[in-house]
Amino acid sequence: MERKILVITYWSFSDALVQTYTLPYLRIIRDILPEGSKLYLVTLENKTFSNSEIEIEKGIFKISFAYIPFGLRAIFSWRNNISFLKKFIQEKNIDTIHTWCTPAGAIGYLLSKKTGVPLILDSYEPHAEPMVESGTWKKGGIAFRTLFQLEKKQTHHAKYLIGVVSGMNVYAQSKYNYSGDNFFTKPACIDLKQFNLSHRKNTLLLKKLNLDGKIVCVYAGKFGGLYLKKEAFQFFKKAFDHWGECFTVLLLTSTPHEEIYALCEGAGLPKENVRIEFVSHAEIQDYLGLGDFAFSAFKPVLSRRYCTPIKNGEYWALGLPVVITKNISEDSEIIAYSHTGVVLDNLSIPEMEKAVKEMDNLLDKNKNGKLSEEIYQLAVQHRNFTIAENVYGKIYGE
């Protein structure tokens, strides 16, 4: 029997979180479902959006609304969106609401309560507490209080919970007073056909970016909020102090150049030793592969233990040793026990200096590429799409 599934995200269709963190899984689900089934993907757009369904590929359709950051204004705007989606669910005979992360889960919960359609929470991880821990929200603010309560409600209401780390069920028990046997674990998986060791040190790109013979630290992502900012550039400065002009930071980021250069100046890092590129996800593997090692910039706040960074898996798939803060997902522990990177116990300057020296030793060990092979196997073991196929098979293969 054909299935009709409404998939809700809180991201733009062009965002990497949809392109790499949602669509690959929808294809897996589509291939499990009976022929003729349809998945309707909801996205939020800053500019052009349309409530009309558009088929983006076989069996997967997109509808979109205007993006408004989660808060009071967004709550009011979502009244109309929820009314539209309630009608949409009824007209399309939607049999499952499948959401990505708890902000979208909050919308899914309200729709599920109104329609009686079962709810599945995917990429289930805390969002309200990390926003407070990063300084983005205040604990007494309406945004935190609203989302935290909705996280609790959606947890108790969902038919299935798909956490990004196994410890998320412990978090749910301690924070939401919930325990159940409907919990699955699925990390941020990586397409190993796109990310693998064949993309290491692309000769043309090395010449184009003048990185031949350089020790390259690569970082892909943002600065500020949930990510380190000043401390990241302090680390880059310590790496420059150690390796001198042989060292270059390759930043794959949308952060404006002026802001990057201001951070360089604040840390005393010469901007000549920084390359800034913003590339599409279709080609990012070749840029990541230019690195000798990678930097993971998540702030080591308590709740990050229950989240999953996509980029770490991509770094691993490209054989890159990673410098990471402690208690980030399960990744910090994996890196520590496998001796395939460096874990920062704190963000002090002496700890950063120590980490740079440890990374230098790892790079020396990796001259024959053996360490990169070992690191690639971390991606195979911990980020393989077969993990997702197994989880979705149990949920949708009934």
For the stretch 272-283, pLDDT in tens is: 999 999 998 889
Sign (positive or negative) of CA dihedral 72, 298, 222, 107? negative
φ and ψ at residue 279, rounded to 5 degrees: -125, 160
Higher pLDDT, 74 or 88: 88
Q: What radius of gyration, in Å, describes the C-alpha atoms of the chain?
A: 22
Write down all domains in the chain, each with its CATH number in brackets.
4-189+384-396 (3.40.50.2000), 197-382 (3.40.50.2000)
Q: In what order do the strands lie in the sheet with 119-124?
A: 54-57, 60-66, 38-45, 4-8, 96-100, 119-124, 160-163, 183-185
d(CA 335, CA 344): 11
| Cβ contact 163:185 at 8 Å | yes
Would you state the pLDDT for residue 280?
85
Give the model confidence (pLDDT) of 195-244 as tens digits: 999 999 999 999 999 999 999 999 999 998 889 999 999 999 999 999 99
Q: Are 279 and 287 in contact (CB under 8 A)?
A: yes
Banded pLDDT at 104 (limits 50, 70, 90): very high
- Spatial separation of the C-alpha atoms in residues 103 and 114, rounded to whole Å: 18
